[in-house]
């Protein structure tokens, strides 16, 4: 099965329909307050690492919903579970609002609609996401906390991540019920929109190249070798037993 377009006004190629789908996925994830809060708060191990994990989630979704699978072969409940597991394992966030179910259902409907050539939901998601991004810039998401818990340890702080105040941003369910515009309001093309970073500026997903050999898990940090000199105190002498240690293993 491939993406197609049934519109009588302007025929789009399957590739163009898939670009609309990718833009819709990007917009849907941008509208997910739990993911946005986790990424922008650096709960994935720091700012850079959190942005990379957000991009990883988007790529995983696009690889899974690649146009080759029929909607009937997919399970929305399993997909929702995978989203919840990802948020818990990568960001230490426990979703108590069941927003992962809402996101999964929206993405599945988006996938099915785009396969049939119906691009209205994809375009409405982009419109909604732009409004949410503008709103969150003006009114940042706040995390609920207890003023009397200042001395609690990091484990209690991690547990509090399940309590997120989403403010008054529009929910994804409102998008599904909203009237669908014929064209997206974004000045970017669907392909350009889908290529944008989810949150903030683009980050380099490539890990930094280590300056030396990678130390194995559990291996002790090697001691710095000291240079030995001969009796005159000038010429360096190779320390005994330290030559070709790697080759002797």
pLDDT of 244 higher than 70: no
Burial 116-133 (b: 16+ CB within 10 A, else e): ebbbebbbbbbbbbbebe
Burial class (CB in 10 A: 0-12, 13-18, 19+), 113: buried
pLDDT of 56 higher than 50: yes
Q: What angle do CA 161, 166, 167 make, to 5 degrees?
A: 140
Q: H or E element: which one contains 90?
A: helix 76-91
Mind listing the pLDDT tens digit for each residue in 162-184?
A: 444 333 334 455 545 444 444 44
pLDDT of 190 higher than 60: yes
Q: H or E element: which one contains 164?
A: strand 164-165
**Which residue has tokens 């209690």?**
156
Return mean pLDDT, the chain.
73
pLDDT at position 238, please? 52
Contacts of residues 14-18 at CB distance under 8 Å and 24 or more positions apart, as own/partner, are 14/67, 16/190, 17/114, 17/117, 17/119, 18/67, 18/114
User: Among residues 140, 48, 45, 160, which one has the least CA distance to residue 93?
Assistant: 160
Contact between residue 116 and residue 19 where contact means Cβ atoms under 8 Å apart: no
Contact between residue 94 and residue 38 where contact means Cβ atoms under 8 Å apart: no
β-partners of residue 228 are 237
pLDDT at position 71, please? 76
237 secondary structure, DSSP code: E
pTM score, two decimals? 0.66
In angstroms, the first-to-last Cα distance of the chain is 54
* pLDDT classification of 19: cutoffs 50, 70, 90: very high
Average pLDDT over residues 48-64: 96
Read off φ and ψ for residue 46, nearest 5 degrees.
Answer: 125, 165
pLDDT at position 165, please? 38
Mind listing the pLDDT tens digit for each residue in 210-242?
A: 444 443 434 454 555 555 555 655 555 555 554
Q: Highest mean pLDDT: which of 3-12, 56-65, 145-154, 237-246? A: 56-65
């Amino acid at each position: 099965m491939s993406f197609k377009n049934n519109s009588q006004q302007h025929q789009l190629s399957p590739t163009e329909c898939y670009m609309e789908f990718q833009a819709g996925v990007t917009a849907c994830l941008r509208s997910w307050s739990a993911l946005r809060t986790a990424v922008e708060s650096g709960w994935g191990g720091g700012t850079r690492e959190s942005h990379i994990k957000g991009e990883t989630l988007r790529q995983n979704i696009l690889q899974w919903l690649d146009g080759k699978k029929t909607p009937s072969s997919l399970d929305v409940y399993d997909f929702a579970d995978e989203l919840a597991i990802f948020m818990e394992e990568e960001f230490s966030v426990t979703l108590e609002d069941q927003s992962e179910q809402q996101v999964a259902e929206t993405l599945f409907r988006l996938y099915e609609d785009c396969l049939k050539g119906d691009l209205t939901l994809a375009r409405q998601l982009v419109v909604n996401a732009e409004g949410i991004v503008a709103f969150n810039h003006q009114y940042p998401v706040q995390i609920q906390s207890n003023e009397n818990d200042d001395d609690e340890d990091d484990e209690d702080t991690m547990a509090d991540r399940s309590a997120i105040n989403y403010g008054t941003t529009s929910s994804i369910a409102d998008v599904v019920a909203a009237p669908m515009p014929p064209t997206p309001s974004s000045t970017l093309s669907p392909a350009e929109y889908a290529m944008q970073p989810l949150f903030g500026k683009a980050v380099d997903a490539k890990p930094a190249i280590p300056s030396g050999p990678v130390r194995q898990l559990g291996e002790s940090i090697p001691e710095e070798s000291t240079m030995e000199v001969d009796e005159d105190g000038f010429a360096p002498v190779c320390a005994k037993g330290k030559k070709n240690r790697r080759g002797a293993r």
